[in-house]
Amino acid sequence: MKRTYWNSFIFAIPLLTIATVSFGDDDEEGFFKFFKRKPGIAPVTSQLYKEECGSCHFAYQPGWLPEQSWRDMMSRLDDHFGDNAELNPVNQKQVLEYLVSNSADKSDYRRSKKMMRSIGSSAAPQRITETGYFKHEHDEIPSRLIAENDKVASLSHCNACHQDADQGTFSEGNIEIPGHGKWDD
Amino acid sequence: MKSRRFSLYISILAIVLGVTSSLVHASVTSDLMAEYQHSGAQQPDPQKAKAMWTQKFPDDSGKNTRSCSSCHTDNLHSSGKHARTNKPIEPLAPSVNKERLTDAKKIEKWFKRNCKWTLGRECSPQEKSDFLSYILSQ
């Protein structure tokens, strides 16, 4: 009886270590966060959004931009960064509602808050890549790994390097740059 | 014995699904064809669409760089990628991609977006029925 008791301890120690390491991933706010693992930004939940927007590009989480950014963007889909991305009026309204009710200014996720702090409450940027927060996070990566790397080509392609981008996780431990490998700074 | 019966069920299911999907696909496209004819299109001409598929149209700077094949390649059986975002695009040919041409709304949505991007205008009912007949034949 006593032996089984100790055995369970011996198994528990490595298991707990593994759990701590793997759950600590997207965590920069202290040890206790590992009890409830939460991605840096709220993952996309709308199937319509995934389909309508995600069929051409990475389905950027609505928590990356404030409400006014999404309103501006959705009002000129006929010239969406040079492409035509028009939706029928019903879907256009539904997608806008989804974006607006999950925008950065309303989110309590860590990266949305950081984004809001970096752009200020009145700004309405159209490009995530031109925000202070985004630039700050990517300023150490040489262009040979992005622009001159065929498999990445642009910083807009989040999931080219952020392996769990579609789950809202952008932590440094989950970065793998194609043709280069893990990213350590 | 049990596993044999199971595989029999699976094959029946596969056949039923296969037949229904090709039926769906046939009725969706024939309904659309009828609609295009109702709006003035004549007999569809897949050869015309094939020629137009690789024809280059001007981009914003006026250079002739845009065509259907910019993103879909000139072989409808193979995957393409979005010219700007590099996002992979599944093959268009229904013979290799069963999901293609099974949803009228999707077909219309992409005709609208992609004709505007490529040609700088919406496609006419005649052009749409040409393209549809070309894609169907692939």
Using one digit for the tens of pLDDT, what is the confidence trace for B4-19? 787 778 777 777 766 6
List of chain A residues whose C-beta atoms are within 8 Å of the C-beta of residue B113: 83-86
Burial of residue A144, with CB atoms counted within 10 A of its CB: 0-12 exposed, 13-18 middle, 19 or more buried: exposed
- pLDDT over 90 (residue B98): yes
Instruction: Break chain A into its structural domains and give their ranges.
Output: 2-36, 47-182
Nearest to B84 among A58, A78, A83 (CB): A83
A58: nearest CA in chain B? B87
Task: Label residues A117-128 b or e (16+ Cβ within 10 Å = b).
Answer: ebbeeeeebeeb
pLDDT at position A16: 54
For B:99-138, CB contacts with A below 8 A are 105, 109, 112-114, 116-117
Of B26, B39, B56, B38, which Cα lies nearest the Cα of B133? B26
Residue-range domains of chain B with CATH? 2-136 (1.10.760.10)
Three-state DSSP at A169 gives: coil
Answer whether B116 sits within 8 Å of A78, measured CB to CB.
yes
Q: What number is the ipTM of this complex?
A: 0.72
C-alpha distances (whole Å) from B120 to each of A31, A43, A75, A146, B73 are 55, 35, 20, 31, 19
- All residues of chain A having their beta carbon less than 8 Å from the beta carbon of residue B84 are 81-83
Nearest-angstrom CA–CA distance, A15 and A86: 51
Q: For the residues A4-9, what does the mean pLDDT come to? A: 60
Q: What is the mean pLDDT of chain A?
A: 86
Triad A107, A58, A171: Cα angle to 5°: 60
pLDDT score, position A27: 46
Residue A121 DSSP one-character state: S
Q: Quick one: pLDDT at residue B76? A: 97
Contact A57 B113 (CB under 8 A): no
The SS3 assignment for B69 reads: helix
Instruction: Please report the pLDDT score of residue A184 as a whole number.
Output: 75
State the count of interchain CB pairs (< 8 A) between A and B. 33
Contact: A83, B109; criterion CB under 8 Å: no
Q: B61 in contact with A at a CB cutoff of 8 Å?
A: no
**CB neighbour class for A14 (10 Å; exposed up to 12, middle 13-18, buried from 19):** exposed
Mean pLDDT of B117-132: 96
Q: DSSP letter at B58?
A: E
Which residue, among A18, A114, A34, has the nearest Cα to A66 in the 3D structure?
Answer: A114
Q: Is the CB of residue A78 less than 8 Å away from at least one CB of chain B?
A: yes
Please check the confidence at residue B124 and state whether its pLDDT lies above 50. yes
* Residue A108 pLDDT exceeds 70: yes
Q: What is the number of alpha carbons within 13 Å of residue A116 lying toward its C-beta?
A: 18
Mean pLDDT of B44-70: 95
Residue among B86, B105, B113 whose CB faces A85 most closely: B113
Place of tokens 């960064």: A81
**Residue with the larger pLDDT of the pair A76 and B12:** A76
Residues 88-147 of A with CB under 8 A from B: 88
A7 token code pair:
């055995």
What tens digit of pLDDT does each residue of A16-45 get?
A: 555 554 444 444 455 555 555 789 999 999
pLDDT of residue A183: 84
Q: With an 8 Å Cβ cutoff, are A58 and B84 in contact?
A: no
CA distances from residue A11 to A5, A6, A17, A18 in whole angstroms, order as listed = 10, 9, 11, 11
Nearest-angstrom CA–CA distance, B43 and B126? 8
Query: Mean pLDDT, chain B, as a whole number?
Result: 90
Residue type, A96: L
A176-177 and B80-81: which strand pairing?
A: unpaired
- Report the DSSP beta bridge partners of residue B58: B64
Kindly determine whether residue A156 and residue B109, on different chains, have CB atoms separated by under 8 Å: no
The predicted pLDDT at position B86 comes to 87
Which pLDDT score, from 0 to 100, does residue A165 have? 96
What is the pLDDT averaged over residues B89-107?
95
- Is pLDDT at B57 greater than 50 in this prediction? yes
Q: What distance in Å separates the CA atoms of residue B30 and residue B116, rounded to the nearest whole number?
A: 24
* Chain-chain contact of A153 with B86 (C-beta, under 8 angstroms): yes
Contact B85 A86 (CB under 8 A): no
Give residue-wise pLDDT tens across range A137-151. 999 999 999 999 989
* The pLDDT of residue A77 is above 50: yes
pLDDT of residue B60: 84
What distance lies between CA B33 and its chain's CA centroid?
Answer: 13
Show the tokens assigned to A182. 């893990």
Q: Show residues of chain B in contact with A55, CB under 8 Å.
A: 87
Q: How far is A44 from chain B (nearest CA, A)?
A: 18
